[in-house]
Amino acid sequence: MYPVSSRPAATRVLALTALSASLAALFVACEDPPPPPQFRVSFTALADANPLGGVEITIGGGRPLGLTNAEGVLRASLQGREGAIVAYRVKCPAGHRDPEASPPLTLRQFRGLEPAAAARGVEITVQCRPSDRLAAVVVRAGGIANIPVLMQGQPVALTDSSGVAHLMLKLPPNTSFTMALDTSANPRIVPANPSQPFVVPDADEVLVFDAPLIEQRAPVKRRRVVRPAPVFTGPVRIPSSSRR
């Protein structure tokens, strides 16, 4: 038991301790909350398999994050909470199509990885496919030269001495067109005026129009031989009734 004279001092100590704790708690409550963590993100833009620069990346309500460089890469840092999904948009440069859908971007930290991988952070690859595709069309006409090649009914080439023609087309994907051979100048060629439809794929491609034409031989006109009437050169027999 404490002496009677020491009780007020102990009470004062307890009161001061409680007051200090309350002030400390109040001070902590008045401090600004810590900033959200930073997450490293790397965007890689490709046109098919080739790096593409000048691709614009925006996040949220359209806040620009930057453009991909000549290597098709954009590195940035984003703030948020671990596991948050960030909405972003990809704007491709002229001559390329914006992707209809892009991989989701989820913020997460990489720990225990090699320094290079940690520096890249979350890696996102986006595709900006070309607006037009190259279609190399090879036309084979069975070895017959100078056959007009038509595209959508319009002449675009002639077969060479080996009966082959080449065309290089640049068209949007899924474009339909028809190639044909005009054999009307030579009715002996069969089949007459063959054609073939094509659809441009979403990739550079070689399209082959193989028409095995055959030139039939001209019919041989047989000459009619007119033989002269036979000439009788033997003796002439006179009937007995005509003798005197």
SS3 category, 129 = strand
Instruction: Give the pLDDT confidence score for residue 16 in this predicted structure.
Output: 56
User: What is the Cα gyration radius of the chain?
Assistant: 46
Domain map of the chain by residue range? 38-130, 133-215
Q: Read off the pLDDT of each residue in 21-26 and give the average, rounded to a whole number.
A: 55
Q: Name the CATH superfamily for 38-130.
A: Carboxypeptidase-like, regulatory domain (2.60.40.1120)
Fold match between 38-130 and 133-215?
A: yes
The per-residue pLDDT of the chain, averaged, comes to 85
Instruction: Give the pLDDT confidence score for residue 22 in this predicted structure.
Output: 59
Asked whether residue 5 carries a pLDDT value surpassing 50, the answer given is no
Q: 177: which residues sit within 8 A by CB, 6+ positions away?
A: 151, 152, 169, 171, 197, 198, 200
Q: Read off the pLDDT of each residue in 130-143 and give the average, rounded to a whole number.
A: 97
Instruction: Give the pLDDT confidence score for residue 132 in this predicted structure.
Output: 97
Which ranges constitute the DSSP H helices of 2-147? Answer: 7-30, 115-120
Per-position DSSP letters for 77-94, written without gaps between them: EEE--TTPEEPEEEEPPT
166-213 per-position pLDDT tens digit: 999 999 999 999 999 999 999 999 999 999 999 999 999 999 999 999
- Sequence-separated contacts (24+) of 169-173 with Cβ below 8 Å: 169/134, 169/135, 169/136, 169/137, 169/200, 170/132, 170/133, 170/134, 170/135, 171/132, 171/133, 171/135, 171/200, 172/131, 172/132, 172/133, 172/200, 173/129, 173/133, 173/200, 173/201, 173/202
Query: CA–CA separation, 122 vs 43, rounded Å?
Result: 8
CATH 2.60.40.10 assigned to 133-215: yes
CB atoms within 10 A of CB 148: 17
